[in-house]
């Protein structure tokens, strides 16, 4: 279907316009998550998305003024749905492993994440940079909190810096996704994350230099 | 300086043409490494590189037919220079840490690496995908070999899978670069890689479930 630019959302004084705009935005994101999951992020130029949705380029730009904003909205929506998963917040590295396993079922979303990471470290993508920096800050803090709980319970040795171990665990998970996407037969991300769980030492403080 | 398209390299039968072509190619790569190091990879569109070098777009395309091929050549050249560094091949994770420290001195090259990673996992960049897949394969094999030497010498516990530990170490290094580029005050990549060295258990096999 082809339709004119959707002016309703721009004029919320019109009856139902605001709600209609919100629904349309959600509908675009639904379709985008499906497209990215199936075809990867390359299919997500504003023009090809507008074509696939059967709306005008102008209508799409009304909701998402740039490709960066569309990609960020898609990833945020994915994160919101992911946070509803029941396994969240049990143990530090185990949670990461389960989340990574779910992500790997949808290579398009891993591609999207990799694209956002690469955009974020380049000039010219300020919104992506801010989103990714804030995301890492939040993720490190959440994971460090779980690590401190594991340390209090004797599951992780308590002389390890929780923030640094959080950075390390996130880095392993992110880095593995790229290796796995490029060579799924050679790299088993879940097995490597299990190796990380296995080498993080348990129990109380061990004096430096003490035998393992 | 502005000059006509350099036809010499295309017709090596002309005296000195081949050598001149090789020199010109090296000169372009020199300039590109400088530009990427200083301004990041965004400055590296074929047109802006040609402008900066004072050569025509056509002349540049003679040496590097696409942006992907130019970026790959720049990264390969950087790797060749890096491999000349004296610290190579001492110990598995220590080497990675030193290499990462050198890379961090040149944020533009870390941006370039992140761009190549993101391109490699998308459709439409077959040469980049092949280069990065081969690079990871080689790097995992080299690192696994060093890990096996460390295991033979009792520096790493010998019941850990050397290939998986290699994947893990590369992933940590790659993932940390992104976190560090986005938030250098919050993430100290070298300190986190030292944490990895510290938690990888030393000595002979420990039975599963044995106290650390």
Cβ-contact B144, B117 below 8 angstroms: no
* CB-based contact, B55 to chain A, within 8 Å: no
* Nearest CA-CA distance, residue A27 and chain B, Å: 25
DSSP string, B130-174: HHHHHHHHHHHHHHHHHHHHHHHTTSS-TTS-HHHHHHHHHHHHH
CB of A181 less than 8 A from some CB of B: yes
From the centroid of its chain, how far is CA A152? 29
pLDDT at position B68 over 80: yes
Check if the interface score ipTM surpasses 0.95: no
Cβ of A173 under 8 Å from any chain B Cβ?
yes
Min mean pLDDT across A46-55, A199-208, B182-191 is at A199-208
For residue A136, the chain B residues in CB contact (below 8 A) are 179, 182-183, 186-187
Out of B165, B179, B206, closest to residue A195 by CB: B165
Per-residue pLDDT averaged across A119-143, rounded?
A: 92
- Tell me, rounded to whole angstroms, the distance of Cα A126 from its chain centroid: 18
Q: Please state, in angstroms and rounded to a whole number, the distance separating the CA atoms of residues A93 and A70.
A: 30
In B, residues 65-124, which contact A (CB 8 Å cutoff)?
110-111, 114-115, 117-124
- CA-to-CA separations, A208 to A159, B92, B203, in angstroms, rounded: 10, 21, 15
pLDDT of A122: 83
pLDDT of residue A3: 43
Nearest to B201 by CA among A154, A87, A203: A203
Better pLDDT: A179 or A44: A179
Confidence of residue B187 (pLDDT cuts 50, 70, 90): very high
% pLDDT > 70, chain B: 82
> Considering only residues 138 to 167 of chain A, which have any Cβ-Cβ distance to chain B shorter than 8 Å?
140, 157, 160-161, 164-165, 167
Is a pLDDT exceeding 70 seen at residue B112?
yes
Q: Which residues of B touch A120 (CB under 8 A)?
A: 178, 182
Chain-centroid distance of CA A66 in Å reads 19
CB atoms within 10 A of CB B99: 17
Domain ranges of chain A: 16-66, 85-199
Cβ contact (<8 Å) for A111 and B122? yes
| Res A51: pLDDT | 85
Residues in A closer than 8 angstroms to B122, CB to CB, are 40-42, 111, 114-115
Report the pLDDT averaged over residues B184-197: 93
Contact A121 B133 (CB under 8 A): no
CATH homologous superfamily for A16-66?
A: Homeodomain-like (1.10.10.60)
Question: Closest Cα partner for B169 from B153, B185, B150?
Answer: B150
Decide if pLDDT at B14 tops 80.
no
Non-local (6+) Cβ contacts of A52 within 8 A are A31, A35, A43
Q: Which range is least confidently modeled, A104-108, A157-161, A202-206, B107-111?
A: A202-206
Percent of chain A with pLDDT over 90: 38
Radius of gyration of chain B (CA): 21
How far is Cα B155 from Cα A175, in angstroms, rounded to an integer?
Answer: 25
Place A106 in a pLDDT band, splitting at 50, 70 and 90.
Answer: confident
Angle, CA of A54, A60 and A64, to the nearest 5°: 150
A94 token code pair:
């185990």
Local confidence band at A89 (pLDDT 50, 70, 90 cut-offs): low
Instruction: Give the pLDDT of residue A6.
Output: 45
Question: In terms of pLDDT, which residue wins out, B10 or B52?
Answer: B52
Task: Please say if the pLDDT value at position A7 is more than 80.
Answer: no
- Å from B111 to nearest chain A CA? 6
Q: Is the pLDDT of residue B169 over 50?
A: yes
What is the structure's pLDDT at A162? 97
Q: How confident is the model at residue A175 (pLDDT cuts 50, 70, 90)?
A: very high
Which residues, at least 6 apart from B115, have a Cβ–Cβ distance to it below 8 Å?
A118, A122, B41, B71
pLDDT greater than 80 at residue A205: no
Lowest-confidence segment of A56-70, A105-119, A198-212, B160-174 by average pLDDT: A198-212
Q: What tens digit of pLDDT does each residue of B71-109 get? A: 999 999 888 877 765 555 567 778 778 877 777 777 788
Predicted local distance difference test score (pLDDT) of residue B118: 87
């Amino acid at each position: 279907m082809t339709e004119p630019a959707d002016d309703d959302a721009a004029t919320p004084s019109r009856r139902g316009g605001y709600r209609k705009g919100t629904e349309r935005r959600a509908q675009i994101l639904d379709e985008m998550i499906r497209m990215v999951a199936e075809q990867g992020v390359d299919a997500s130029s504003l023009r090809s998305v507008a074509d696939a949705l059967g709306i005008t380029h102008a209508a799409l730009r009304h909701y998402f003024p740039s490709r960066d904003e569309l990609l960020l909205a898609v990833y945020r929506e994915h994160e919101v749905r992911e946070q509803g998963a029941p396994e969240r917040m049990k143990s530090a590295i185990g949670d990461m492993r389960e989340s990574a396993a779910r992500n790997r079922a949808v290579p398009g979303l891993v591609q999207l994440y990799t694209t956002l990471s690469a955009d974020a470290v380049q000039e010219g993508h300020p919104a992506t940079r801010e989103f990714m920096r804030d995301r890492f800050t939040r993720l490190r803090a959440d994971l460090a909190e779980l690590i401190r709980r594991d340390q209090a319970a004797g599951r992780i040795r308590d002389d390890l810096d929780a923030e640094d171990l959080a950075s390390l665990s996130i880095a392993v998970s992110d880095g593995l996704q790229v290796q796995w996407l490029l060579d799924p037969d050679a790299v088993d991300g879940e097995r490597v994350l299990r190796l990380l769980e296995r080498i993080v030492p348990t129990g109380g403080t061990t004096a430096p230099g003490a035998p393992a």
